[in-house]
Copies of this chain bind each other. A is one copy, B any other.
């Protein structure tokens, strides 16, 4: 089955925003067995949308459209689709109820524009939206399915995953594709590829492999088109086991999670509490750890110890140490671990101090230099890293590395 994605909006065409919606949709469609033929971004003008719909529907079975459904004057997609599919807009009571509910929850008053959001083409299937005022629409014409969704990412994502995908799986006879995601951390992509090259060359011929790298992890995706799920699962499991034999300690999970999710499992299982003391990452690790629902069972609290005063007053880092070794040093992060274990009365602690940049670097300690310590009352391990020159990326690198180091510490693995 072939699918096209169309994203509508001037902001994409003038390069003001990156189109991440199409990435999300493409991955989900691909995982479900669709072959994505083309992604097209167009302006919200009737003539152009007509042309593109005419053109792509020559080649494709499914067209997923995002954007142009907002309440403002420049959002013309709904009327355009109504015209294209020969229908007219009528007020839909269900959608109006959703809109009213949404507006009420937000504490706003219903206005004319909100009500207009409930006017829907009379020949489409409605896809409800619980996170915004623009409903999704499902049209069919000449054997092609057209789905229109709002462009606000969190509205679109939930709508697509929870409501649209199940309908698509009902409508289309899709090949079965089984995916296994293996989440790794610690090797850069080229080293990982080298380490896995033998395994990769001997992979079962029906399995395709993709490397999906980001600063937080490299996800390895194994995909297999199959007739029977059970048999494919077995073959995939065998390959995953081989992978574990090669890079076991660098695999922190499978599925869709991040290091904080894997850490959550470990901490819950072992009934361990943690805290954080962060200088350059300034709350980012605390935020990531608590992004996991239920994290209050193992996370007590953290300090964003941005100034040296906070390091000495709250974390009991000695002024002497700060003066002698500087805030970005082994000695300081070690004391930051000790101090927080006292302060928060936790079992384990994470401490980070680094030069995030763009300023503050020296010849000896260039921008990107970061000390990370993890430990408990018995033992603390501190390591130095030299990340890059970009501030926000350095914070991401340091935060992920710190969580991985804690994972390794608790599991008894080496920390590099």
Q: Which chain B positions have C-beta within 8 A of A14?
A: 26-27, 30, 36, 210, 223
Q: Is A77 an interface residue (CB 8 A)?
A: no
User: Please, which residues of chain B bring their CB within 8 A of the CB of A24?
Assistant: 15
Complex Cα distance A213/B70, Å?
Answer: 10
Contact A191 B111 (CB under 8 A): yes
CB distance from A336 to the nearest CB of B (A): 12
- By a CB distance below 8 angstroms, the chain B residues around A321 are none
Assess whether B306 is in contact with A303, with CB atoms less than 8 Å apart. Answer: no
Kindly list chain B residues whose C-beta atoms are within 8 Å of the C-beta of A106: 188
Stretch at the interface among A40-48, A89-97, A228-236, A264-272: A40-48
Q: How many angstroms from the CA of A392 to the CA of B290 in the assembled complex?
A: 10
Contact between A71 and B293 (Cβ–Cβ < 8 Å)? no
Partner of A304, one of B10, B107, B290, B291: B290
Given contacts A283-B287, A287-B284, A357-B293, contact A131 B38 (CB under 8 A): no
A209 partner residues in chain B, CB cutoff 8 A: 74
Determine the chain B residues whose CB is within 8 A of the CB of A343 once the complex forms.
313-314
Q: With an 8 A cutoff between CB atoms, is A245 at the interface? A: no
Q: Report the interface size class on chain A.
A: 35 or more
How far apart are the CA atoms of A20 and B17 in the complex, in Å? 9
Q: A301 at interface (Cβ–Cβ under 8 A)? A: yes
User: CA separation between A393 and B322, bound complex, in Å?
Assistant: 38
Digitize A41-65: 1 where CB-to-B-CB distance is under 8 Å, 0 elsewhere: 1110000100010010000000000
Query: Which residues of B lie under 8 Å from residue A358 when comparing CB positions?
Result: 293
Given contacts A14-B27, A30-B14, A43-B37, contact A71 B193 (CB under 8 A): yes
**What 0/1 readout, one digit per residue, does chain A (369-404) give for beta carbons within 8 Å of chain B?**
000000000000000011010111101000000000
Kindly state the separation between the CA atoms of A300 and B307 in the bound complex, as whole angstroms: 5
Alpha-carbon distance between A40 and B290 when the two chains are bound, in angstroms = 37
Q: Tell me if A's interface is mostly helix, strand, loop or mixed.
A: mixed
How far apart sit A28 and B15, CA to CA, in the bound complex (Å)?
A: 8
A228 to B237, alpha carbons, bound, how many Å? 65
Residue among B16, B26, B74, B390 making CB contact with A12, cutoff 8 Å: B26
Q: What is the CA–CA distance of A301 and B296 in the complex, to the nearest angstrom?
A: 22
The reply to whether the CB of A114 lies closer than 8 angstroms to some CB of chain B is: yes
Determine the chain B residues whose CB is within 8 A of the CB of A238 once the complex forms. none
Contact check, B388 vs A131: say whether CB atoms are below 8 A apart: yes
Q: Which of A39, A70, A284, A294 has the most CB of B within 10 A?
A: A39
Given contacts A43-B37, A287-B281, A358-B293, contact A210 B74 (CB under 8 A): yes
Indicate if the CB atoms of B16 and A27 lie closer than 8 Å: yes
- Docked CA distance A226–B24 (Å): 37
Known: A73-B193, A276-B283, A301-B309. 10 other contacts (CB 8 A): A18-B19, A19-B23, A74-B211, A105-B388, A108-B191, A131-B390, A154-B215, A287-B395, A301-B304, A301-B307
Name 16 A/B residue pairs within 8 A (Cβ), A-sorted.
A10-B210, A12-B26, A14-B30, A14-B210, A15-B22, A15-B26, A18-B19, A37-B43, A282-B299, A282-B302, A283-B286, A287-B287, A293-B357, A294-B359, A299-B307, A314-B314
